[in-house]
Amino acid sequence: MSRFDIEVRVKPRPGLLDPQGKAIHHALESLGYPGVGEVRVGKVIDLTLEADSEAEARERADEMCRKLLSNPVTEDYQLRVRASAGKEAEG
Amino acid sequence: MSRFDIEVRVKPRPGLLDPQGKAIHHALESLGYPGVGEVRVGKVIDLTLEADSEAEARERADEMCRKLLSNPVTEDYQLRVRASAGKEAEG
């Protein structure tokens, strides 16, 4: 068993309303920042996962995204998987 | 003027409580996923910015992070800046 660092970025699908992004855009304009285009806000989820291989870690993380971490109707997700530095789990 | 894509990741500082992360961890366990370690949840903010150079874009995005996008007491942020592909702004 090895430990893997998983980073999941969940973002609203292009074209869907993003009220939080609109609010941030408005606030940036009010603060006097010019030249800001569209703002979109999503989530970033970091977790560690123990698995036998990177492929297995990625597959399980992908399933977690589909089942819990993202809403497939309104959101897209991107996964990044890499071995945890110097933290080999026993097994 | 060129257009730059900015990605800001805002994450709770290490050691601070992250109730949203705890809730996700609990939910993943309930769904039967073993081997999940700590879960931390942050925000990812995508925006476009018009600026004369990448250095200027980065500097302004950094200021936005400090003033609006992150809470310096409880959160850390990471910036990624790159030129927008094929979308040179006039000016």
Beta-strand pair B2-12/B36-51: antiparallel
Q: Which of B13, B25, B44, B80 to mutate to test the interface with A (most CBs of A within 10 A)?
A: B44
pLDDT of B82 reads 95
Quick check: is A88 in a domain?
A: no
What's A68's domain CATH number? 3.30.1280.10
Which residues in chain A are contacts of B65 at CB distance < 8 A?
Answer: none
Tell me how far apart the alpha carbons of residues B21 and B84 are, in angstroms, rounded to a whole number.
32
Quick check: is B89 in a domain?
A: no
Of the candidates B75, B46, B81, B84, the residue with the CA atom closest to the CA atom of residue B62: B81
CB contact at 8 A, A4 and A48? yes
State how many domains chain A has: 1
Task: Compute, in degrees rounded to 10, the torsion defined by CA atoms A28, B61, B6, B46.
Answer: -30
Average the pLDDT over A13-39 and give the result: 95
Q: Where would I find the H helices in A1-91? A: 19-30, 54-64
pLDDT tens, residue by residue, A33-84: 989 999 999 999 999 999 999 999 999 999 999 999 999 999 999 999 999 9
Interchain contact A57–B (C-beta under 8 A)? no
B69: closest chain A residue by CA: A24
Quick check: is B16 in a domain?
A: yes
